């Protein structure tokens, strides 16, 4: 239910906040939700934890796909979007695989490292060039795209940035 509630909020706010910030917030919500479930001393804490995790999962169904679409080259975009779906389905399967061997409190606690790892990995990736362009940060968008495209020349980066800016 919380994922259903999340999608209109995430959809409405996705252009107001940076993509990375959105994924950071969703990761924090996941950790908070799982900690609430793990250390619950009543059913309301479990419900609150389930709400936070559900809301975050609903947001993760949107923001990473937008981020992939805005940062990946055309050659990689489809593969990375497919990888996202594989990761989502693995994330659904993993709790079912480990759940029978752990109590619900340890089960929830065992899932906390995943969003923490996501936050650590995201710190090394630049913000979406398209988002930066939409906010008027052309120089930052150029630097972001140069990092994302690796060995491409500045002229190639400028051409791609011009193409991206026409779509903003």
Tens-digit pLDDT profile for residues 137-165: 999 999 999 999 987 888 888 888 888 77
Q: What is the pLDDT of residue 39?
A: 95
145 in Cβ contact with 111 (< 8 Å): no
Q: What is the pLDDT of residue 168?
A: 59
Q: How confident is the model at residue 16 (pLDDT cuts 50, 70, 90)?
A: confident
Q: Which two tokens stand for residue 30?
A: 């996941």
Higher pLDDT, 163 or 125: 125
pLDDT tens, position by position, 43-84: 999 999 999 999 998 888 889 999 999 998 888 888 998 888
What residues contact residue 27 under an 8 Å CB cut-off, 6+ apart? 56, 115, 116, 118, 119
Q: Domain 2-125 is of which CATH architecture?
A: Up-down Bundle (1.20)
Segment 16-40 shows an average pLDDT of 93
- The percent of residues above 90 in pLDDT, for the chain, comes to 45
Q: Tell whether the model's pLDDT for residue 132 goes beyond 80.
A: yes
Higher pLDDT, 46 or 89: 46
Nearest-CA neighbor of 74 among 133, 165, 167, 160?
A: 160
Domain ranges of the chain: 2-125, 126-168
Q: What is the pLDDT of residue 45?
A: 96
Q: Tell whether the model's pLDDT for residue 23 goes beyond 90.
A: yes
Q: How far apart are CA 141 and CA 145, in angstroms?
A: 6
Q: What is the dihedral of CA 65, 71, 76, 79, to 10 degrees?
A: -10
pTM, rounded to two decimals: 0.84
Q: What is the pLDDT of residue 26?
A: 93
Q: What is the dihedral of CA 109, 114, 115, 117, to 10 degrees?
A: 130
């Amino acid at each position: 239910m919380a994922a259903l509630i999340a999608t209109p909020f995430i959809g409405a706010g996705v252009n107001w906040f940076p993509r990375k910030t959105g994924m950071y917030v969703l990761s924090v919500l996941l950790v908070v939700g799982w900690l609430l479930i793990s250390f619950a001393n009543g059913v309301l804490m479990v419900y609150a934890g389930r709400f936070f995790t559900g809301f975050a999962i609903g947001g993760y169904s949107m923001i990473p796909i937008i981020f992939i679409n805005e940062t990946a080259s055309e050659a990689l975009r489809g593969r990375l979007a497919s990888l996202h779906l594989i990761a989502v389905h693995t994330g659904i399967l993993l709790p079912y695989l480990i759940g029978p061997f752990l109590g619900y409190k340890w089960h929830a606690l065992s899932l906390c490292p995943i969003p923490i790892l996501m936050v650590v990995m995201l710190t090394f990736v630049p913000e979406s060039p398209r988002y930066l362009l939409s906010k008027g940060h052309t120089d930052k968008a150029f630097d972001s795209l140069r990092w994302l495209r690796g060995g491409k020349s500045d002229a190639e980066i400028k051409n791609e940035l011009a193409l991206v800016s026409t779509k903003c």
